[in-house]
Structure 1
Amino acid sequence: MTLFRAEQVVKVFPGVRALDRVDLALEAGSVHALLGENGAGKSTLIKVVTGLYRPDGGRLLLDGREVSFGSPHESAAAGIGVVHQERNLIPGFTVGENILLQKLPTSRGLVDRTAIRAEAGRWLAELELDIDPDRPVTELSVAQAQLVEIAKALSVESRVLLLDEPTASITPNEAALLFRVVDKLKNDGRAVLFVSHKLEEVFQICDTVTVLRDGASVLSGGALADLTRDQVVDLMVGRTHEALSLPPRAVDATAGPVLELRGVSTATGHADVDLAVRPGEIVGLYGLVGAGRSELAKALLGLDRITAGEVRVRGKAVRIRNVRDALHNHRIGYVTENRKEEGVFLEQPVSRNIAVTIWDRLRKALGYVPAKAEAATVATYVEQLGIRIASPAQYAGTLSGGNQQKVSLAKWLAAQTEILIIDEPTVGIDVRTKDAFHTLIWDLASNGLAILLITSDLPEMVTLADRVVVMRDHAVQGELPNDHDYDRMSQQVIRLIHAEGTTAA
């Protein structure tokens, strides 16, 4: 039985036809994949379905009856739950308050805290999450926040659940847990829409698929059992997609480290961390959520207190006070995992986003930044990174996720960093753009940039890293030289994560 249907849906923005007569059908007791490259229209379609945008053509049907939603609240009330790619938790609220935001329990006109803890706890238990409902969401990791979003969507007991990149920032173990929940929802007769760039997950849990390209549905409702991965990729990109092949790249093992940690401990809980990155080397940090990888990077940038040990840059012991100090005095850049909240100024032009790190260099008397000098710098990196924009004046918030990530990277390259920390570089990015990012990171290292790479995508880690440093519980478990053989490396990494005690390299 078809629970929800979109027929010939059109959505037009100024100068852009974002959706061009798209068809989508979601069946009860089925998991349906929605695939396409960045900018293909996936998120726009979800926003139409959930009432954030009104369609300019076509119609939506729920249980066979035409519906029109004027807001996400109306959509949720009709039984459509959604977990957006961008997190929508309210920072000043607790986990429980966020989960039950649409139906906060009250008693005698007041919010019932006891009922919030009990009800939110039920949905957290459904996801097997050991998180206190009274905990502020500001204390959550990116992965924990994503799982709380899923609990929030489930709490409205939706008959139709839309999951937009739900596994982008969670570990394989957490993804396996989510898949068990999705399977339960499917067996309960609900319809699930699953949006992901991770095709191995799509083929694992989805039954049918719709593929969007340039705002149009090039395949609607095809059975995944009848398709291969290559066929799906070809539908997404419009032509045969060739597997990524990276040229040989040598690292000078005799060169001294550009960045070195000696016995570093932090206020976050890291203990006795040793780490070294040489010029032209990509060192990967891998571990499960909670291992402390991103927190270690932030401590290097002065965003958390280092309580013991020593950080050395180009052989000299340093104390980095903040991000500005890291950039201007030590040539360290940081591409954050949270590009929408920390990496890009969404309401500012692309030009300003890229040039912000070099204003000090461009500034003339009285603080004036010449527009011509800024434009020349911006044009260089737009071309080098292949950033797709209408003009440098285009707001960054209107770009696709992949292009936003390129803008986030461009500002650090413009600042001529010598050490670059890259945190989850390809979260929510399509297969072709991901290949372009991998090639770019590889080329940057080939040109002498020292890169500390943090990623939860193990294939990405095995593709790029020269060495893999495995972390658990804010400590280094061990270090592995990377031979780029995925089967062998993945087994070694997983064994190291679950090994008792600390294993030497």
Structure 2
Amino acid sequence: MLELRSVSKFFPGVKALDNVSITFKPGEVHALLGENGAGKSTLIKIICGIYQPDEGEILLNGKKVRFESFRDALDHEISIVNQEIQVIPQFSIAENIFIDKIEKFASAGIVNWKQINTEAAKYLKIVGLEMDPATLIAGLSAAQKQLVQIAKAISSNAKVLLLDEPTSSLTKHEALKLFTLVTKLREQGVVLIFVSHKLEEVLSLCDKVSVIRDGKYVGTMDRGNVTKQDIVKMMIGREMKDHDLGQLDINTDNKVLEVKHLTQAGRFNNINLDLHEGEILGFYGLVGSGRTELAKILIGEDKMDAGEVWIHGKKASIHSMADSLYKYRLGYVSENRKEEGLLLEETVRTNIGITIWKKVVQPAIHKINLKLEEFEAQQMIKALHIKVNNSDDIVGGLSGGNQQKVSIAKWIAAGCDILIIDEPSVGVDVGAKEYIHQLIWNLAKVEKKSIIVISSDLPELCTLARRILVFREFQIVGELNDINDRPYSYEELSGRIGQYLA
């Protein structure tokens, strides 16, 4: 049993946690919920020894404990699957899984790498990642890195396991594998703390739900006695109703993007697709199915061996992201904002301005026009309702939802006509997710932007996409093209897509 009693944590000018008391029991999956900035991350870091409480106490199996470091928590059989990707790119999958346990595979100063790879393969099989353990992490997708992190946490044989947004980059198929694993751990009496913004997951998997709002404990409910609307109201202090965004006014006579016979050796073969003015096109598929990989070819981040890309009726020549942005107004919001999408140590103003340097730099003296840069940043902060004190706030200190808004804002500032948005609401709370969905919808509906949404979240595609391409093994194996006439329910969409992936 893990028990928190009257735990509080202070930072300069902020009381991040205020007298929080929660009990987590063995053999239960206990959801810990709240909006971004509610205090969940601070509480998780206290449980894992990264932070120490300023007030209150922690009890583990009835005994008071104080963890002075993450290693201290690991020694007490507490482990975590982090929401943010935390891997060492230059190391192999196996090395990342056992980075904190290498000494177990060493004798007389010599590491048995064969044994490490053999053991790593067992955990990769458990999480459903079919890859050579010796593969370098650097080349993996965000979803594959997430599965490696899950394998690492499981390998510790923890008695308390925190799962912080573990399915944020996973499709329903991979998530179901994880849920099967969680069920086995529950049966083994593990204390499981599950943090997720996907309330459908919470209601299907968790036994209890605890909510934190503004650093304070709101309450704990049994899953059987709580609805999605109950949880949302506890989280944000008001009711939020699901709503149908309606139909898009898609100009099917204007193909803004065409892909013809795209081929990449060992991956894609004869890929064809088109995107129309004012359309939101969905990409869906399992981890490694080719969705993000195709996007990176389109923006010039990767090369194709054959085929053509046409933009606004003219054959395009895209060899870099600079070509994509400046020559064709094609932007890409990365699925991995921490590693690829944002400069975390820089300001909001700098991050928004990075795509419009040609506009804000004074060519004669090669200096940034700070007034113009500030004006552009303020325009985006206001338009996207980014919660900051001012444009000089450091992006790394913002909540996940506000970081995602900044990631999108820089491409809107650049005036992109075509946007590829990869996992638009990954790691953001229900309130921010609702806003981001409305933002994407308005870009297509009002501003006639053409958008490709890559998402592992089927309810998200139900809300946004009005045509969906289904990917499997680097091929487009299906197309749902009647959604704009009658948007599917989650159950209908899941069934239709499931037929293509069977």
Q: TM-score range by the shorter chain?
A: over 0.9
Q: Matched residue of 1:91: which SS?
A: coil
Which letter maps to 2:136? P
1:57 to 55, 58, 61: 55
Q: TM-score, normalised by structure 1?
A: 0.95
5 Å-filtered alignment, 1:3-402, equals 3-104=1-102, 105-219=105-219, 221-254=220-253, 256-267=254-265, 269-364=267-362, 365-402=364-401
* Cα distance between partner residues in 1 of 2:13 and 2:243: 33
AA partner of residue 385 (structure 2): G
Shift of 1:469: 1.2
Q: Is contact 1:28–1:186 with CA below 8 Å preserved after alignment?
A: yes
**Map of 1:417 onto structure 2:** 416
Partner of 1:503: none
| Aligned mates of 2:121, 2:246 — CA distance in 1 | 51
Deviations 1:367-401 (CA, angstroms, capped at 9, x unpaired): 11122111111111101101001111110000111
Q: Which residue of 2 aligns with 1:494?
A: 498
CA deviation after TM superposition for structure 1 residue 128, in Å = 4.2
CA distance in 1, matches of 2:141, 2:37: 27
| Aligned twin of 1:485 | 488
- Does 397-406 or 137-146 show the bigger shift? 137-146
Is the Cα contact below 8 Å between 1:244 and 1:435 reproduced in 2?
no
Q: Distance in 2 between matches of 1:344 and 1:370?
A: 21
Partner Cα distance (2:280, 2:266) in 1: 25
Amino acid at match of 2:442: D
| AA in 2 matched with 1:64 | G
Measure the CA separation in 2 of the matches of 1:252 and 1:119.
54
Q: Matches of 1:192 and 1:490 in 2, distance apart?
A: 28
Alpha-carbon distance change, 37 to 268 in structure 1, aligned in 2, over 3 angstroms: farther
User: Residue type matched to 1:278 in 2?
Assistant: H
Is 1:445 aligned to 2:448, yes or no?
A: no
Deviations 1:173-199 (A, max 9, x none): 111111111111111111000001111
One-letter amino acid matched to 1:334: Y
What whole-Å deviation, never above 9, does each CA across 1:444-492 have from its counterpart, x for those lacking one?
Answer: 0011111111111111112111211111111111322113122333322
RMSD: 1.3
Q: In structure 2, how many angstroms separate the alpha carbons of the residues matched to 1:316 and 1:334?
A: 20
Correspondence for 1:472: 472
Per the alignment, in what secondary structure is the counterpart of residue 100 of structure 2?
Answer: helix
Per-residue deviation, residues 33-60 of structure 1 (Å, max 9, x unmatched): 0011111111121111111122222111
The 3-state SS of whatever aligns with 1:366 is: coil
1:202 partner letter: V
Report how far residue 258 of structure 1 moved: 1.0
Q: Distance in 2 between matches of 1:313 and 1:35?
A: 43
* Whole-angstrom distance in 1 between the partners of 2:84 and 2:166: 10
CA displacement, residues 294-328 of structure 1 (integer Å, 9 cap, x when unaligned): 00000011111111111001111112011111101
User: How far apart are the structure 2 equivalents of 1:88 and 1:128?
Assistant: 19
Kept after mapping to 2: 8 A contact 1:48/1:55: yes
Cα distance 1:56–1:109, how it changes in 2: closer, same or farther (>3 A)?
same
Q: Structure 1 stretches (4+) deviating beyond 6 angstroms? A: none
Which secondary structure state, in structure 2, belongs to the residue aligned with residue 20 of structure 1?
A: strand
Distance in 2 (CA, whole Å) between partners of 1:93 and 1:208 is 38
The answer as to whether partners of 1:285 and 1:471 remain within 8 angstroms in 2 is yes
Aligned counterparts of 1:112 and 1:480: Cα–Cα separation in 2: 50
Unaligned ranges ≥5, structure 2: none
User: Cα distance, 1:247 vs. partner?
Assistant: 4.6
Secondary structure at the counterpart of residue 252 of structure 2: coil
Which residue does the alignment assign to 1:461?
A: 461
What one-letter code is carried by the residue in structure 2 that aligns with 1:386?
H
Q: How much has 1:268 moved relative to structure 2? A: 5.8
Show CA shifts across 1:238-273 (max 9, x none).
01112234254311222x211110111124611111
C-alpha distance in structure 2 between counterparts of 1:445 and 1:128, whole Å: 36
Residue 15 (structure 1) shift: 2.3
Deviation at 1:122, TM superposition (A): 2.8
Q: Tell me how far 1:136 sits from its aligned partner.
A: 1.3
User: Which of 22-31 and 117-126 deviates more?
Assistant: 117-126
> CA–CA distance in 2 between the matches of 1:128 and 1:398?
34
- Residue 491 to residue 80, structure 1, CA distance change in 2 (3 Å): same
What secondary structure, in the 3-state scheme, does the structure 2 residue paired with 1:169 have? coil
TM, length-normalised to structure 2: 0.96
Structure 1: give runs of 5+ residues left out of the alignment. 499-505
Contact conserved, 2:252 with 2:277, CA < 8 A, in 1?
no
Contact 1:268 1:295 in 2 (8 A): no
Contact conserved, 2:174 with 2:286, CA < 8 A, in 1?
no
Q: Any conservation in 1 of the 2:295–2:420 contact (CA below 8 Å)? A: yes
